[in-house]
């Protein structure tokens, strides 16, 4: 009995330290709320995904029909699907804002938090790609074909990796089922990484927008900051609901309303909007291996900020430091716009220019 009470007391102490009594700088603003909002949306994605998975059929012949069945016949199935689809877009939007906030206030100085966050970003990208294939529409099928074929650029083993991933000589039943299983299981690995991410953050605590020693002038997290988190979470949830019910297909591709047809290639194949910046960099390089390398580096390059000087730490910003933040954010948006346009003049030439500026901005600043 004493042992059980001791363990219970220890659990309460840990919970109080991490969630309730966590010492938090008093000067942090709403820019520090993005992480908690991501946690709320992640939970919603898990819940809606589990329900949708119970009605999904991962056979090539019936995958597209099962999506129609969910939307038309399952009780509130259309709502679950719209929230899951648009929740992914909101999720990525907030992730990008969360990362930019890290740039602005030098969160990359916390080594373990920054590296674990980068790994989380890569896994989220993989989950989103796997999920985009599951509806088995035209863009889903051909997008999977294009992206998986990129792995063949890996010297010596690329072709073998593609064949193993496909489970045959082309994308088919085995591919769809593997993607479905991975899309279902990887989020649980992601949940574990998020816990590690939070643990590394709470080991040192949040930084401060003023750049002053964050150990000075702290207050308990609850109720001063938990109320702010709840407020912003409610606002984001309301935005997700409005987007899901008023403009459910605003961010989708109309071509994906057609079932997958291996004999009919769409004129313009493009990924979801949150992949467009990397897609623009990929297609701006003629060499296949070079394009794949640039695609991966476009995401991993944010880790080099760990080796650089503190970009922004207080209100005494240097003009060059301000310019870095705004130039990087602007180039990201411009590359997203380029990726949404066809590979033709003048978008092709502009994309090459923006690609050079994108990498040079991070490397030289």
Residues carrying an active site annotation: 202, 206, 228-229, 272
Structure tokens at 166: 């496909």
Q: How many CB atoms lie within 10 A of CB 354?
A: 20
Q: If we measure between CA atoms, which residue out of 351, 348, 347, 342 comes closest to residue 268?
A: 342
Q: Provide φ and ψ at 260, rounded to 5°.
A: -60, 135
Preceding peptide of 223 cis, ω within 30°: yes
Query: Please, which residues have CB within 8 angstroms of residue 358's CB and are 6 or more apart in sequence?
Result: 281, 298, 328, 331, 332, 335
DSSP 85-104: HHHHHHHHHHHHHHHHHHHH
Q: Which two tokens stand for residue 149?
A: 């074929």
Of the candidates 181, 185, 187, 179, the one whose C-alpha atom is nearest the C-alpha of residue 120 is 187
Task: Cite the DSSP H helix spans in 205-287.
Answer: 226-246, 276-283
Non-local CB neighbours of 168 within 8 Å, separated by 6+ positions: 174, 175
CA–CA dist 251, 86 (Å, integer): 8
Contacts of 253 (CB under 8 A, 6+ apart): 139, 270
């Amino acid at each position: 009995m004493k042992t059980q009470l001791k363990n219970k007391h220890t659990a309460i102490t840990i919970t109080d330290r991490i969630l309730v009594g966590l010492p938090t700088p008093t000067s942090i603003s709403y820019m520090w709320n993005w992480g908690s909002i991501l946690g709320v949306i992640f939970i919603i994605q898990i819940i809606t995904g589990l329900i949708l998975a119970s009605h999904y059929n991962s056979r090539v012949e019936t995958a597209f029909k099962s999506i129609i069945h969910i939307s038309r016949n399952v009780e509130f199935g259309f709502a679950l699907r719209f929230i899951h689809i648009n929740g992914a877009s909101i999720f990525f939007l907030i992730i990008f804002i969360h990362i930019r906030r890290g740039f602005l206030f030098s969160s990359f100085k916390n080594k373990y938090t920054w590296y674990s966050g980068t790994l989380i970003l890569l896994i989220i990208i993989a989950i989103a790609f796997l999920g985009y294939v599951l509806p088995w529409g035209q863009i889903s099928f051909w997008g999977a074909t294009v992206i998986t074929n990129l792995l063949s650029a890996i010297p010596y083993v690329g072709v073998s990796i593609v064949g193993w991933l496909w489970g045959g000589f082309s994308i088919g039943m085995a591919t769809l089922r593997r993607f479905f299983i991975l899309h279902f299981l990887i989020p649980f690995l992601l949940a574990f990484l998020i816990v590690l991410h939070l643990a590394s953050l709470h080991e040192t605590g949040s930084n401060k927008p003023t750049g002053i020693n964050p150990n000075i002038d702290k207050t308990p997290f609850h109720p001063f900051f938990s109320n702010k988190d709840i407020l912003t979470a409610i606002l984001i949830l309301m935005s997700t609901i409005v987007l899901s019910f008023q403009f459910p297909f605003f961010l989708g591709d109309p071509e994906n309303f057609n079932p997958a047809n291996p004999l009919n290639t769409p004129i313009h194949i493009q990924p979801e909007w949150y992949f467009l910046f990397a897609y623009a960099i990929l297609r701006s390089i003629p060499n296949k291996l070079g394009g794949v390398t640039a695609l991966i580096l476009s995401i991993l390059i944010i880790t080099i900020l760990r080796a650089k000087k503190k970009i922004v730490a207080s209100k005494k910003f240097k003009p060059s430091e301000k310019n870095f933040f705004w130039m990087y954010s602007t180039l990201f948006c411009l590359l997203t716009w380029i990726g949404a346009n066809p590979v033709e003049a003048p978008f092709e030439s502009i994309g090459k220019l923006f690609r050079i500026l994108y990498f040079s901005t991070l490397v030289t600043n």
